[in-house]
Amino acid sequence: MNFADLALAEPIFRALAEKGYAEPSPIQAAAIPPALAGNDVLGLAQTGTGKTAAFALPILHRLAANPKHRLKISTRCLVLAPTRELASQIAASFQAYGKYMKLSVSVVFGGVPIGRQERALFPGVDVLVATPGRLLDLVMKGALDLGHVEMLVLDECDQMLDLGFVHDLKRITGLLPKTRQTMLFSATLPPAIEELSQRYLKNPVKVAVQPQATTVDKVVQSVVHVSQPEKLALLAHLLKQDDVERSIVFSRTKHGADRIVRQLAANKIAAEAIHGNRSQAQRTKALTAFRSGELTVLVATDIAARGLDIPEVSHVFNYELPNVPEQYVHRIGRTARAGRNGQAVALCAPDERGLLKDIERTIRKPLAVQPLPGDFRDLVGLAAKNIKLAPPEPEREERGDFGRRPGGNNGGRRETSYGARPARDPRVAVRPDGRPGGRPEGRNEGPRPAQARDGQRRQNQGQRRSPAGR
């Protein structure tokens, strides 16, 4: 099958030919025909196999075959994505495939001024790509009416339907017309989430071109067993290998990603971090530098594990294994895209062996064990010049309010800006210079005698009654 057999509108076919797309991928060949027929679609496929085009092309064909006048503050097609980066990428794909159409595409997400997005939506748009939170903000402000949506797409629906997104989706779908076409796409769909997805689909056509949670064959996967303190030295060693052209390093936490960037800088390896605590401008700047090749190492949390399409990524390093095994599939899907080869290396500490077993059970195959470099432990032990380990940050003990340790009296010590020192008994009389004797500490604190309070009250009342007081 080729794209000509799908009978897409001429402007769409011309844009595909210009990009050099002749044959659809398996997920595209399976999902586009039922989508063109107007059916609801549940699509499951590996990452990097062209799921965006699988729903974008039939939507564009429907818009081209049935043009309508745009209504103010409304849209005909709504695409929901879990992250800002994925939303921007989907909007760019619509613009590329609809290059020769009179198409209006807008993308809205948080982290940027909302006024500019309100102005973009005012004349109405054909396709709106959004993250759920900012979409609801625009609806509440009266800047968007969802009553004219004809097509709804949930990309990466396993994450969209999970946890906090469920409540937003309930509110959004309640504002949409009952008669609409709905399409859900993802690389993984756990059974519990699949049951939940049925409430959004009517007699769907399920398309699964590969078993759920399988990985692309072109990704060479391996694991290196290493202790937690030695992970940074191993990562720095691997990043300096000649075959590592452009790589993404995944961390489990935001602060962990920042710490990896600082420690890599100590090893003279330039890297930037992408996570939820960074501003949209910082995230966009880092991604732009990474796409252009100016930056070769990107450290990210799972915010970059979904839909980030950069074909030049040669390696993915799992510095920390994910708690959810399906996230591993999305992480390593950032490499071996567009028919290229890639490598995924997991750094597994002893306390992560359980997570590794969960991953191998999910992807239905064991990871090849890669031995440590022959001289690696010698380099770590001798603190060789080539690998300068940044001093590890001390683990901060969890404290309660005001810097006190949990448990009440803080162990008889008081926290100050200069550190902890023994607390003085307020009943002991001390002078202001700290010597014994003098006025007891805390004497003037606490309630005053009633007689003194009454005298002060009468004095204040007399001042208010006097002309001077008035």
CATH number of 163's domain: 3.40.50.300
Residue 181 counted as domain residue: yes
pLDDT for res 389: 46
Token pair listed for 4: 């000509």
Query: Is 106 in the same domain as 157?
Result: yes
Residue 432 counted as domain residue: no
Scanning 240-372, the segments in alpha helix (DSSP H) are 254-266, 280-292, 325-332, 353-363
Residue 465 counted as domain residue: no
Strand 219-225, strand 205-208: pairing: unpaired
Strand 429-430, strand 436-440: pairing: antiparallel
C-alpha angle with apex 265: 261 to 267, nearest 5 degrees?
120
How far, in Å, CA of 241 to CA of 234, rounded? 11
Residue 430 counted as domain residue: no
Query: Is 298 in the same domain as 181?
Result: no
pLDDT for res 456: 55
CB atoms within 10 A of CB 450: 8
Domain boundary among 333, 362, 382: 382
Do residues 149 and 62 touch, judged by C-beta distance below 8 A? no
Residue 428 sits at φ, ψ, to 5 deg, of -80, 130
Do residues 165 and 136 touch, judged by C-beta distance below 8 A? no
| pLDDT per residue of the chain (470 residues) written in tens, 0 to 9 | 789 899 899 999 999 999 888 899 889 999 999 999 999 999 987 666 788 999 999 999 999 999 999 999 999 999 999 888 889 999 999 999 999 999 999 999 998 999 999 999 999 999 999 999 999 999 999 999 999 999 999 998 777 766 567 889 889 999 999 999 999 988 777 776 677 678 889 999 999 876 555 556 789 999 999 999 889 889 998 998 999 999 999 999 999 999 999 999 988 999 999 998 898 889 989 999 999 999 999 999 988 887 677 888 999 999 999 998 888 988 998 898 767 889 999 999 999 999 999 999 988 899 999 998 876 666 565 434 444 444 444 433 333 333 333 344 333 333 333 333 444 444 444 444 544 444 443 444 444 445 545 555 555 555 555 444 44
Token pair listed for 106: 């807008």
DSSP-assigned states of every residue in 249-286: EE-SSHHHHHHHHHHHHHTT---EEESTTS-HHHHHHH
What's the chain's Rg over C-alpha atoms? 30
How far, in Å, CA of 228 to CA of 349, rounded? 5
Which residue reads 């982290």 in tokens? Answer: 111
Query: Is 165 in the same domain as 283?
Result: no
Query: Is 271 in the same domain as 159?
Result: no
Token pair listed for 206: 């399920």
Which residue reads 């000649």 in tokens? Answer: 242
CB atoms within 10 A of CB 389: 17
Query: Is 71 in the same domain as 195?
Result: yes
pLDDT for res 47: 65
Residue 463 counted as domain residue: no
With the CA atoms of 191, 192, 196 and 201 taken in that order, what torsion angle do they form, in degrees rounded to the nearest 10? 0
CA distances to 262, 298, 438 from 223, in Å? 24, 20, 69
pLDDT for res 462: 53
DSSP 429: E
Query: Is 127 in the same domain as 254?
Result: no
How far, in Å, CA of 46 to CA of 34, rounded? 19
How far, in Å, CA of 361 to CA of 44, rounded? 19
Residue 129 counted as domain residue: yes
pLDDT for res 4: 87
Domain limits at 375? 219-382
Query: Is 185 in the same domain as 252?
Result: no
CB atoms within 10 A of CB 255: 14
How far, in Å, CA of 291 to CA of 312, rounded? 8
How many separate helices (H) and strands (E) can be counted in the chain?
Answer: 16, 18
How far, in Å, CA of 193 to CA of 197, rounded? 6
Residue 464 counted as domain residue: no
How far, in Å, CA of 417 to CA of 276, rounded? 31
Task: Look up the pTM and report it.
Answer: 0.70
Query: Is 169 in the same domain as 306?
Result: no
Domain boundary among 161, 186, 208: 208
pLDDT for res 212: 54
Do residues 324 and 289 touch, judged by C-beta distance below 8 A? no
Residue 4 sits at φ, ψ, to 5 deg, of -65, -30
Contacts 24+ apart (CB under 8 A), 437-444: none
Q: Distance from CA of residue 391 to its chain's centroid?
A: 28
Do residues 266 and 391 touch, judged by C-beta distance below 8 A? no
Do residues 310 and 338 touch, judged by C-beta distance below 8 A? no
Residue 291 counted as domain residue: yes
Instruction: Give how many domains the chain has, as a whole number.
Output: 2
Query: Is 230 in the same domain as 140?
Result: no
Token pair listed for 162: 């999970």
pLDDT for res 192: 61
Helix, strand, or coil here: 127? strand
Domain boundary among 152, 178, 208: 208
The amino acid sitting at 147 is G
Query: Is 237 in the same domain as 93?
Result: no
Query: Is 191 in the same domain as 334?
Result: no
How far, in Å, CA of 371 to CA of 366, rounded? 15
* Closest C-alpha to 263, from 297, 290, 305: 297
Length of the chain: 470
Sheet of strand 105-108, all strands in order from the earlier edge strand to the far edge: 105-108, 125-130, 75-80, 151-155, 181-186, 41-44, 205-208
How far, in Å, CA of 242 to CA of 106, rounded? 41
Query: Is 200 in the same domain as 230?
Result: no
Helix, strand, or coil here: 72? coil
